[in-house]
Every structure is written in C-alpha cells, then in structure tokens.
Structure 1
Amino acid sequence: MSDWYRTEWGSGRTLVLLHGGGATSRTWTPVLDQLAMQRHVVAFDFPGFGRTPFPDNVEFTMDWLLGAFADQLADAGIRTPVDIAGNSMGGWVALEAAKRGLARSVVALGPAGLWRNGMPPLLRAKFRAGLVGARLARGREAAVLRSKVIRTVAFSQIARQPSRIPVADAAGMLREFDLCRTAFEPILRVAKTVGFTGGHAITTPITVAYNSSERMLQLRTARDRSELPAHTRWVELPGCGHVPMWDAPDLVADTILLGTQ
C-alpha cells in the first residue's frame, strides 16, 4: 500500500491528528500553530480521503484500517505508543488504536462509533444528504460559498458558526467531501452494523470531548459510554459543533494538549 499523505509541524513529542469521515487533514488547520508550539504534530489523510488514494482490491474493515495505520506510523518513524487526537471517525480510530496498544493517550473529539446497534439511520441520512449537496456544487464551490447564508446552510451540521470558516477552506472541504465518496460509501456500509466495542481494558488516558452544539451525534443514539474504560474523562466544548476546530481553536488546542500531556 502507498504511503498515506501527511503533513508535519513543530518539534517535541509526537502528536498524531486523525480527521473525520468525509474530511481531510485540512480540518486541523485552525489549531496547528498552537499545537506545534509544544509538539511535533503529524496529520494524516486516511485512504480515499484528500491526497491519499484508496488501494485497489481492498475491502474496508476497521481491522484493515488499524493495521494500515500501524504500518504508516512505523514507515514514518513514529514510535508507538504515541499520543493521538481524532475527530469523528478519527476519534473512533484513535480509540481503536488505544485498544491495540498503539496510543500513549487519546483525545477523541465527537468520536463516531459510540453506538450500540450500528450507525443511527439519521446520521447516515445526513452524510448521504451532504454527498448530494457536494455533487450539486461541483466546479463552483468557491462562488457559491462566498455567501455567508449558503456557507451557514452547507456547514451548519458540523460547525456552530460556519461563517468562521474561510471561503477557500470551505470550498476545499466541500470539494474533498465530494471526491471521497468512493472510500466513504464502504465505510458507511460497515458502520451501519459495527461500532466501537471492547475498550474496558484500555489503560491509557482517554479524553472524550463532546460539543455543546453537536448536531451529528445525538445523545440518545450515538454517545454510548458502556464500551469505554471507567477512567475515561468526559468533557464538553461549549459553543462548538461536530468539527469544533473552526468554532473554538484555542479551546480545542488546549483540550488536546491537556489530554495528551
């Protein structure tokens, strides 16, 4: 398998950043400078997202993804266990990495996978609606998203204040979402019946941060605590949406640094 695209900043102990489903490492842009003041930050694009191609003749499973992630860490010279912060799907992968001994600590921001009977139908519907919207905007993302009203509509499910997302980044995120559908469809199919389980034996520090304005992961259906260890630290990020980095970059950076110190 080819190398996953990654970007690196700063120096110090390594901190790995994992983006959410449908996104890319771009989503970490607002917090990179602050994190890199204290840490060597490495942000990956998952296979099929951003600049990492999805390999041919591979059936997506979480075990396959974790095996590939472990290989990428080794190939990049990153010793494990390593500190990992992830958002949404990236948070789920970070928790799986802790279960497999790859993580020194984990900060999971609005993690996916904490459901009992597979991904909730409403969440799947929101992702599929987003894919339709991204397709309709093909080739004219920047022009459409110059309107704050349209930017608010387009990103209201992931950000409390979508107008804070610069037009260039918003257009890039919408384009990247559209281009990831080949990889994202099998992930949605797997998540329909699979979630995070078996985390009770994790001994590494775990922080799970949910956002006060979370619109993707509903409290009753997608925030189950039963599979995580008793020492898990639960925090709330006030004034933030599902992808909180744009809403409150300082708060998110501080939460990550505290949880991985």
Structure 2
Amino acid sequence: MRIHDSTYVQGMHMVHDGPREAPPLLLIHGSGASGSSWGPVVPALAARHHVVRVDLPGHGHSPPADSYEVPEQAARLAVALDELGLGPVTVAGHSSGGYIATALAEHRPDLVESLALISSGPGPDALLPQPALLRALIAPPLGPLLWRVRSDAMLRRGVTAVCNRPVDVPDDLVAEVRGIGYRTFRTVLSRNTAYIAGRSVPERLSVLDVPVLVIFGAADPRWNPSSAHLYGTVAKARVEMLPDVGHFPPLEAPQETAELLLSFTVTGR
C-alpha cells in the first residue's frame, strides 16, 4: 500500500512515501536544509522504495537537540530506525548528510545495506572559498543580524548560491529553512568540520564493508569537484560526476540523481 504520512521518532520529524513493504531508503539532508530538499526526487524513488525523509534536530519540523555531534546524530537515527522496524536500509546523504550516513554505518553496520553520498566533501582541504552571501550569513558580527532579517528572497538566494543550474526552490524548503536558528547552524557546521577533520570520509569508508555511490556536481562551488577522485580509493565505491551541476543535485538534476540512486539500489553498484 502506498503511503504519504509523517511521524516523530526520537524527537525527529520523518516523512514516509511509497509502498510501506518496499525496500527502505533513508534520505538525510545537509546543514541548513530539511527533508524537503529531497522533494524533486521523491516521486521517482517512492515508485520502488519506502522513502523516509528525516528532518535532523534543529532543522525543518524537528526541535533543537542538546548535541549536534555527528556520531550522536547517527546514534539517534539508529534508535529511530529500530523503533520503526526498518533495516537494513540504503542511506543517501546530501552534503553533510553524507557524514551522518557514514557515521550511521560506522555505528550500526547491521542497519546499513549501502550508502549514497551526494556532494559530500571528503575532507576539510577540499572546501572552496564560499559564496559571498553564505559567508555573510555565517560570520559574525553581520551574520546574526542578517539571520534575523532574512527574507524569502534572501533564503532562496542562499540555496541558489551553491547551484550552477537554474532551480525553483520549493516553498516548503524556504519555510523550513527559516526556522533554523543561527546558533544551531553555526554549531552544526563546526561539528561537521570536526568529524571530517578527525578522519576523512574516504578513510572512514575504506574500513566499512558496504557498497558506496558517490555523486558529485562537476561545477560544485562548495567543494572542489576534483576531490571526488579521493573516493576512488574505497574498494566498493563508484563515483559519478554530473556535468554542469553544482552543489545541489537533488534540486538541479533531480531526474539524473534519481536514476543513479535507483540503479544503485537495484544493483548495489
């Protein structure tokens, strides 16, 4: 039976789409976004999967948490999956959502059948100088002021600043981004950086016996696209570059992204 409903599990808002009995696919958004950032790819994915979109703590419809450490967020997700009776699952993470997906596989390898990382920078050295608007929104003293007066137009520009193709930013994503607190956003960014500074993502994946799909935009303005080759050192990893796509493949290239994910979930390659 096809479903479309939402639940709160472990304090996190989760939206379910597709047949309940279909293979589960967990989608994890990046910093400063929400589960709605996956909206354009959900219809295609839900034709074959029980798709679960999570709003991480402090994002979307989920309340803030006491800690935003990547391993702790992954552990919370593991408990949520256990409560839902889901597993093993394919986990797809966009941007820093890929770090939480990786940490989930580290913490509970029994729950993770395969991993798809989309625009997930492998390590701090791959980070490029950020677009001016994002720098202004993040850095004090201007950041907190701009955060309080953000208009819908500014929020949309914040999303499109990391895109290379024209995109229509979903209204629900704009509304949900507005609810993210400045302190939460800054803390999440610092915890994500700490996670990949400790060990790079390819290093972490190399000791996990799990198939990995890496999708990278060849025009990503946040992470050096050439750094995607570092994932080639992972035994079970496949790297796919999307021409003319920036940091947000689910919004910029939803059809190509969905096709890659569906092929991966079917073949594991």
Gaps of 5+ in 1: none
Which of 112, 117, 142 lines up with 1:108 in the alignment? 117
TM-score (norm 2): 0.79
Q: Structure 1 vs Structure 2: percent identity of aligned residues?
A: 25
Task: Report the CA distance between 1:60 and its aligned residue.
Answer: 3.0
Task: Report the CA distance between 1:27 and its aligned residue.
Answer: 0.2
Change beyond 3 A, Cα 1:158–1:205: same
Task: Report the CA distance between 1:241 and its aligned residue.
Answer: 1.7
Q: Does the alignment pair 1:164 with 2:150? A: no
Higher relative contact order (CA 8 A, sep 6+): 1
Q: Residues of 1 paired with 2:195 and 2:47: CA distance?
A: 37
Change beyond 3 A, Cα 1:171–1:66: closer
Paired AA for residue 249 in structure 2: P
Counterpart in 1 of 2:264? 259
Segments of 4+ in structure 1 off by > 6 A? none
Asked whether the equivalents of residues 123 and 217 of structure 1 are also in contact (C-alpha less than 8 Å), the reply is no
Structure with more helix by fraction? 2
RMSD: 3.0
Counterpart in 1 of 2:6? none
Task: Report the CA distance between 1:183 and its aligned residue.
Answer: 2.3
Which of 211, 229, 236 lines up with 1:205 in the alignment? 211
Paired AA for residue 247 in structure 1: E
Paired AA for residue 93 in structure 1: I
1:111-260 equivalence runs, <5 A: 111-112=120-121, 114-115=122-123, 120=127, 122-123=129-130, 127-131=134-138, 136=146, 141-142=151-152, 144=153, 151=156, 153-166=157-170, 168-169=171-172, 171-172=174-175, 174-176=177-179, 179-195=180-196, 196=201, 197-219=203-225, 223=228, 225=230, 229-260=234-265
Q: Residues of 2 paired with 1:129 and 1:140: CA distance?
A: 12
Aligned residue for 2:251, secondary structure, equals coil
Counterpart in 2 of 1:34? 44
Gaps of 5+ in 2: 1-8
TM-score (norm 1): 0.81
Q: Residues of 1 paired with 2:247 and 2:43: CA distance?
A: 21
Q: Residues of 2 paired with 1:243 and 1:63: CA distance?
A: 24
